[in-house]
Structure 1
Amino acid sequence: MKTLTLLRHAKSGWDDPALRDFDRPLNAKGQRAAQVVGRNLKTLGLTFDRVVASPAVRVVETLDHVGRGYGAAITPEWDKRLYLASVASLIDVIQEQANGVDRLLLVGHNPGLEELVLTLVPLAGDNPARADVEEKFPTASVAELHFAIDRWADAGANGATLARFVRPRDLDPGLGPSAD
């Protein structure tokens, strides 16, 4: 069995119109949400054999704040392919992982992460978490997917089960869409 956890970067700021998209930092709400998510990952006992992340500033800062909440640094392998990646690129990264990696964390951006969940998790059955992802994969949200496979190369469309989907507002209502 393989476990894929997806983390979308936390809320970033648009305060400086001169900044490139790649260079946008987190805003205060994003920093707070990332720490709350880190504490939740720790509470759930989630660990990762490998972390692969987009090198965008908002992802770097998200991992820093998640690590603060988690109580330990989360050190990724930076992969430029994850910056605004398509589903096909994300699947390529997943399928390239070594078979000895059982718990993989990918940290990146939408719409790719949302589309990835909807591609990997079949529509069949009553799955409220999948419906929530289909509605929106908000910033700093976490999706955990399970694959009944031994090799990452076998990960593909409709091959996963969505074990959990956690949004920051599920952990702290003050981090919901109407909150500042």
Structure 2
Amino acid sequence: MKTLLLLRHAKSSWADPGRADHDRELNRRGEKAAPFMGRYLREQALIPDLVWCSTAARAVQTLGLLGRDFASNADVIYSEDLYMAGERVLLESLHHTHEDANSVMFIGHNPGMEQFAQALFGGGDEVARDAMARKFPTCALAHFEFDVENWTDIAFGTGRLIVFTKVKELQAVKIGSE
């Protein structure tokens, strides 16, 4: 059994229009959202064994704000190939994951993350899939499981979607419980 977590980076800033897209950092909303997602992942015991992270500033910053569990417990592969990658590049990267890792997280960008998640869907939570198809917002997480031994055995249409989590919903629950 393999677990794949697809996380879109948190909300980025457009304050400096002269800054290259790759170098854009998170805005305040993004800086608040990533720790919420990190807490959720810890509460759900979803600390990955390995993280594939885009080299874009906003993706690297998102990873850092998830919490120290993600930097110390997980190996991290920073890959420029993940910057604005499509579903085929993401699948190819996944196939290069070492087999010791049973749980992997990708931190990347749309439209690739959304397309990859849709392409992997082979069953599971249909309501979550429909929500994901409508919008894969910043700092949203798609949690998949695969009944395989090796990452190279994963193909499009073989994933079971467990849950699709939007950080905005996590924040609403926290505010509602205070």
Q: TM-score, normalized by length of structure 1?
A: 0.90
Q: Distance in 2 between matches of 1:125 and 1:99?
A: 24
CA distance, structure 1, for counterparts of residue 46 and residue 30 of structure 2? 21
Deviation at 1:75, TM superposition (A): 5.5
- 1:178 paired residue number: none
SS at match of 1:78: strand
Q: Which residue of 2 aligns with 1:95?
A: 95
| Mean CA deviation greater in 21-30 or 39-48 | 39-48
State how far apart, in whole Å, the 2-side matches of 1:125 and 1:147 are. Answer: 11
User: 1:41 maps to which residue?
Assistant: 41
Structure 1: unaligned runs, 5 residues or longer:
175-180
Number of equivalenced pairs: 173
The residue that corresponds to 2:63 in the other structure is: 63
Note the C-alpha offset of 1:72.
6.2
Q: CA RMSD in A?
A: 2.0
> SS of the residue aligned with 1:3?
strand
In 2, Cα distance between equivalents of 1:155 and 1:80: 22
Residue aligning to 1:16:
16
Please give the per-residue CA displacement for 1:37-74, whole angstroms capped at 9, x wherever unaligned: 11111111112111110010001111111116x68656
Give, as a single letter, the amino acid of the residue that structure 1 aligns with 2:159.
A
- After superposition, residues 130-169 of structure 1 pair within 5 angstroms as 130-169=129-168
- Match in the other structure for 1:53: 53
Equivalent residue number for residue 171 of structure 2:
172
2:6–2:107: 8 Å Cα contact kept in structure 1?
Answer: yes
Does structure 1 retain, via aligned residues, the 8 Å contact 2:3–2:103?
Answer: yes
Q: Aligned to 1:143, what secondary structure does the other structure show?
A: strand
Maintained 8 Å contact 2:49/2:103:
yes
- Provide structure 2 residue ranges, at least 5 long, that are not aligned to the other structure: 174-178
Does structure 1 conserve the Cα–Cα contact (< 8 Å) formed by 2:90 and 2:116?
A: yes
Which SS does the other structure have where 2:145 is aligned? strand
Partner Cα separation in structure 2 for residue 101 and residue 126 of structure 1: 24
Q: Cα gap change, 1:48/1:126 in structure 2, threshold over 3 Å: closer, same or farther? A: closer
**Are 1:26 and 2:29 an aligned pair?**
no
TM-score norm. by structure 2 comes to 0.91
SS at match of 2:61: helix
Q: Distance in 2 between matches of 1:157 and 1:58?
A: 27
Question: Structure 1 residues 125 and 9, CA, compared in 2 at 3 Å: closer, same or farther?
Answer: closer
Change (3 A) 1:149 1:172: same
Q: Give aligned-pair identity as a percent.
A: 37
Corresponding letter in the other structure for 1:152: W
